[in-house]
Amino acid sequence: MQNINLLEASGLTLAQLIREKKISSYEVVSTHIERAKKINPQINAIVEECYQQALNEARAADEKIAKGQVDFSKYKYFGVPHTIKELMAVKGMRCTIGSIHRKDVVSDFDSTALQRIRQEGAILIGTTNVPEAAMWFECDNVVYGPAKNPYNTKHTPGGSSGGEAAIIAAGGSPFGIGSDIGGSIRMPAAFCGIFGHKPSEKIVPLTGHFPMTLDVAESFVGSYYPFSVVGPMARKADDLLTLFNMILGPDGIDKNIDPQFKLKPLIQDWTKVKVYLMPDPSMFLTTPTQSDLSESVIQAGRYLESLGAQVQEAPRKLLFKGFDHWSTRAWTMEGRDFVSYMTNGQKLSYMKEFFDVARGTRRYTFPALLTAFFDDKFSQRHKLPKLVEKLKAFQAEVDSFLDGDSILILPPHPKKAPAIGSTIFTPFNFAYTAVFNALGYPGTIVPMGLSQDGLPLSVQVVARAGMDHLTLSTCKPLEEKFGGWVPLA
């Protein structure tokens, strides 16, 4: 035990130590809670804690182990702590989505993802910070305030799963669950240097992820079904794959989940895989890619080539209109729009609200207001039929390009973790991730160490819909070669 740092081990390793009685669940859980208590005042990642309940559950777990009452073959994470994004329902805890209109809303059930993790013996220690209404790639809201990046608190951990990424990166949680509609797992994972996986659509239930509560779940079908997805985040590659397998499959509530989907075995023979590299994407309205992020893509490609993969560069402009296609996909969704969710249906005076932000009496964050304003005033929904045809043609083009066992590796963002408050000047940079939400593609973030200025480097690996095994196959070899997540000094 002297050689194992509990705050740096994978959840699977912690579970093994507990199973082998080399350490107690109470010690593992309390160690992570103490770390969370120490670091959270600096990064504001955990917003609703359940520390005492977690410690009680850990004691109960240890008592069962001592009495020989645990069949460990039934549990992958018995006695191991974790966190979850605040948009996911947790019975008895708030689910505000960062909105003042929901600041007192308490969930009366557990989301499906949380239920499945609990069934594996894991112990929740808290929920994590999000942007207002979960629609920005910085993490700030009027209910909880801003989350910060543990590697440099002047920088953002990203959004919307920013709090989740921050607490995992800071060592306060081995793993957790986030969600992604435009990069909300991938940007935070990249900015904080951890693993994150955005699944293909309709293979992981959204039950319990706002707005899909139990009372309205059956109404989310067809064009009313969100194109957001729920997925795992972890400091170690092994946990990412384990968690993904754990949360897959129908739950009987979310009627949209594919009952036939099975995750294929990970790639062992890389000679059969085509790897396309896009170190410096040319995408409309985005800023140029920072050179060290481009270099990370090249290094990842070179290593996979050394394993036998067929590597070549992809056309820089393949994804050029990525933001436009994401917007089209967003406009195809029926039901309440972003403005309605942000205001809870109340009438909004933009002039008054922008003025209130300027004088420090805000009800809404500036990015949320700006997003609502442009969605409200500059929507192209009236052109939707023509835009949908363009999206379909784009989908066919990229599907054809990534035919067979092919992956595309590109940066997750043009910049490493941006300075807090700066993203408002580069609002379209999330197109690097958002374009793959438009396509329904899986995307995996693999950490690639730290830059010279101490910020995390990562690559984004994508494949066609349903080919999640291809992107996940890169995690372990790249982790072994480049070191994966880097614990805080």
- In this prediction, residue 348 carries a pLDDT of 84
Q: What is the average per-residue pLDDT within 30-44?
A: 98
Query: Strand pairing partners for 410?
Result: 460
Among the listed residues 184, 296, 327, 406, the single catalytic one is 184
Tens digit of each residue's pLDDT (9 = 90 or more) over 106-141: 999 999 999 999 999 999 999 999 999 888 999 999
Q: Model confidence at 375, in pLDDT bands (50, 70, 90)?
A: confident
- In this prediction, residue 117 carries a pLDDT of 98
Among the listed residues 10, 111, 160, 228, the single catalytic one is 160
- Domains belonging to the chain, first-starting first, are 11-482 (3.90.1300.10)
- In this prediction, residue 90 carries a pLDDT of 98
Tens digit of each residue's pLDDT (9 = 90 or more) over 210-241: 999 999 998 999 999 999 999 999 999 999 99
Catalytic, 160? Answer: yes
Q: Model confidence at 342, in pLDDT bands (50, 70, 90)?
A: confident
- In this prediction, residue 379 carries a pLDDT of 77
pTM exceeding the 0.85 threshold for the entire prediction? yes
Tens digit of each residue's pLDDT (9 = 90 or more) over 39-95: 999 999 999 999 999 999 999 999 999 999 999 999 999 999 999 999 999 999 999
**Mean model confidence pLDDT for the chain:** 96
- In this prediction, residue 2 carries a pLDDT of 52
Tens digit of each residue's pLDDT (9 = 90 or more) over 136-194: 999 999 999 999 999 999 999 999 999 999 999 999 999 999 999 999 999 999 999 99
Catalytic, 24? Answer: no
Catalytic, 219? Answer: no
pLDDT at 253 over 90: yes
Among the listed residues 24, 25, 30, 85, the single catalytic one is 85
